[in-house]
A and B are shown apart, each in its own frame.
Chain A
Amino acid sequence: MILSESRSKRLLSEYQVGIPAGATAASEAEAIERARDLGCSRFVVKAQISAGGRGLAGGVSFSDSPEAAGKAAAQILGRRLVTEQTGPAGEVVRRVYVEEAVNIRDSLYLGIVIDQQTALPTLLGSAEGGVAFEQEAAVRPEILDRLALAPDCAYDDDAITGFLERIGLDGEPLSNARQLVIGCIQAFRKNDISLLEVNPLAVTDAGQTLAVDAKIVLDGNALFRHPEFEALSDDLWVDTAERTARDNEINLVRLKGNIGVITNGAGLGLATNDMIFDAGGLPANFMDIRTTATSFGIARGVDLLLAESDITVLLLNVHGGGMTVCDTVVEGLAFAYSRSKRRLPIVARLAGQNAPWARTILKDRRLPHEHFDTMSAAVSRAVSIASGRYR
C-alpha cells in the first residue's frame, strides 16, 4: 500500500524527521486558508496521488501568495493526472498539499529498500537527488551509495556517518541528516515499510535537513500488525475496480486492450498476456485469481470485466491446481453472466484439476463459449474475435 506524500511525511515527522510546514486542502478556499495559516511568502502546491512522477507531469507548482496558491489548487483539483507511474487511466487529484517553499541549497536522495540479493534492509543515498534522480541513477548507477543494515534494521553509528560523508555531507548538515536517517530507519522497521524514499532530502541555506518529498510503501502483508493504516486504505487505493477485485482475492490490473482475461495464478496471467501480445491482440487487464478466492469473489471479478464497454471477448485460461480447481472459476463466471445483460463471447481453455466438470458447467449454463485444448489456439481465437474477424 502506497502512502501519499502528506501521509508519508506526517508518519516520518513522528520519528523526528524534519519536514516543511504544510497541510492538505480539498478546495480553492481551503488551499487559500492553509496558505495563510502557514504565514510564509512562497508556497508550493502538490497534487496528492499515490504514484510518483508528479513533478514532470504538472502536478507541482509554486506561487507567491495565498491567493495564487488557491488558484494553483483549483487548477489541479479534480484533474486526472497521468504520470509515467500511474498507468494510462491516471489518478484523479482529490487533495493537494499546500506547503512552505523552502530555500534548498543541496538536493540529496535517501532511500531504504530491501535488497533481494542480500536479504538485508539497505540504505541508498546520493548527492544528486531531485526530480530526475531515478532516470539519472538508471544510467549512472555510480551516483548511488549503499549501506546494508542488520536484518532487524540495527545500524552502526560510525557507518551511518561514513555513508553520509560519502554522499557529500559534513559539519552541521551531517549531524542533522544523521538524525533524519535514524528517524527513517526506525519508521521503516516499526511500520513494516517495504520502501521508503526521501527525494529530495533538502539541505537548506541555514544547514537544516528536511524531507521535502517522501514516499512510503507499506508491506500490505503486514497490515494485520497495523490496524492504524486500515482506515487509510480507502482513500489511497488507486483504482476502484482494482480495489474491488482485491477485496475479492483477485489481483487485477487494468490495461488498454479489448480482450478481457480471466486466469488463475500470477505466472499464468503474465504468460497469457504475453501470448495475446505476440498474437497481435491487446489484453484489457491482467488477472490473477488467488487461491483463496471463492466462486462469489470470482463472479465479482468477472462483473468488473463485463462492465468495461471496451471489452469484446473474454479469454478464460485456467489450469486447475491443488488449490484453485477449474469448476470454482467457471461457477463464478456463470454467476456473473446470470446477473448481467451482456453476453460477451467466451473463449475457454480449461486444463488440470476438474477441467471436464468445468466444461460441463459451461455447456449446462448455456454460456456463449468455444473451448480449445491449447493456450495458443484459445489465444489466437480470442485475438481474431477481438479484431472484428468474428464469424
Chain B
Amino acid sequence: MGILVDGTTRVIVQGMTGRSGTFYTDLAMRYGSEYVGGVRPGKGGTRHMGLPVFDTVGEAVAETGATASLILVPAHNAAAAMLEAINAEIGVAVCVTERVPVHDMLQVHAALHESKTVLIGPNSQGILTPAGCKIGVMSTADARPGCIGIASRSASLTSEIVASTSAAGLGQSTTVGVGGDPIHGLGFRRCLEMFRDDDRTRGVILIGEIGGIEEEEAADYLTSIEYGKPVVALVAGRHSPSERRMGHAGTLSMFGSRTAGEKAARLERAGVKIADDADKVTPAMVDALA
C-alpha cells in the first residue's frame, strides 16, 4: 500500500542512458523496484543495463506497460520530457531535474489540467514507498516500511525525518518530495487527500518552508474536513530575512507569500501539530499516535 506507487508500479526512465540516468536507475533497480525500460530519442531499439530503450514515451508505454516515469534529463529538455509523459498518459511522472525555466513550467502546468498524469516535481527528490518502489534519487538506507506519510518541499529535511521516524519504529508508508520550485505538479493538499484514503498511513508529516502557497492550501483543506489522522508540520525559515532569496526558487517571498510563522499559525488553526524544529517532528508524531 502507500500512495501512488507500490511493488506493482512499472517504471521507465526518460534520460536513462545519461550519466545520472544510469546511476540512479541502477540504484533504484538494486532497491528492488520494477524498472522496465528507458527513453532516449535516437537510441530506440538498443538496450541499456539490460533494459530496452525506446525513442518515445508512447512506444515505451505500449511495449512495456509502464505506469510511471522518472525524468532525469537536462533542464533545457525537461519541459518537453514532462509534456511527452503527460501526452502519453502515464500515471505518475517524477521530474528530478533542477533549474527548469518557470515559463516552461507554465506550459507543463497547463497540460496537467484534465490530464491522467500526476506530476511530481520538478526539482524533487522523488517518491518512495519503502520496500515497494523508489522513483527518484533519495537515499534508501534509513527508510523502513511503516505507517507515516511524508510530503515535503525539502529533500534534506526529508532524509532527516525519514531517519527519525524509522528510528522511532514508525517507518514510512510513502514519502513524496513535491519539489522546491514555485510552479510544480502534485502539492501538499492532494498528498493529504491520498494519505487520508490510504489504510497503511496512520499519520502525516508535512515539511514546509517560507514562500509558496503549499502550506496555505493544506491548511484550507484540513479546515474544510474532519481529517481523522494526526498531521504534524515543520515550517523552516522562521528567522530568515523575508526580503531575501534563500536557495529554492520557490522561497522567494513575493506577492501574497507568507512568512514561516504565518504559515505555521495557519496550519495550527487547522488542527496541525507544529514542531518548532526538525528534532521535535517525530516525537510530536509519536505523542499524537499514542
Contact = CB atoms under 8 A, between A and B. Distances in A.
B237 A270 contact: yes
Contacts of A120: 106
A291 B139 CA distance: 13
Contacts of A352: 139, 141-142, 159-160, 163
Contacts of B249: 221
Interface string B238-278: 11110111111101001111001000000000000000111
B220 to A, nearest CB: 11
Nearest to A353: B139
A92 interface: no
Contact of B278 (A152, A271, A353): A271
Contacts of B142: 352
A46 interface: no
Given A263-B156, A266-B209, A376-B277, A274 B27 contact: no
B131 interface: no
Given A85-B243, A253-B246, A189 B209 contact: no
Contacts of A221: 75, 99-102, 249
B182 interface: yes
Nearest to B156: A265
A267 B157 contact: yes
Nearest to B154: A267
Contacts of B102: 114, 192, 194, 219, 221-222
A374 interface: yes
B107 A152 contact: yes
Given A114-B106, A266-B248, 20 more contacts: A114-B102, A114-B182, A114-B183, A116-B213, A119-B109, A124-B255, A195-B254, A219-B101, A221-B102, A222-B104, A255-B241, A268-B154, A268-B156, A268-B160, A270-B236, A271-B278, A274-B236, A291-B98, A291-B155, A292-B98
Interface of A: 84-85, 87, 111, 113-114, 116-117, 119-121, 124, 151-152, 189, 192, 194-195, 219-222, 224-225, 251, 253, 255, 263-271, 273-275, 277-278, 286, 288, 290-292, 319-323, 351-353, 374-376
Q: Which 4 A-B pairs give the minimum distances between C-beta atoms?
A: A267-B154, A265-B156, A266-B247, A268-B156
Interface of B: 24, 27, 75-76, 98-107, 109-110, 125, 136-142, 152-160, 163, 180, 182-183, 207, 209-210, 212-213, 234, 236-241, 243-249, 251, 254-257, 260, 276-279
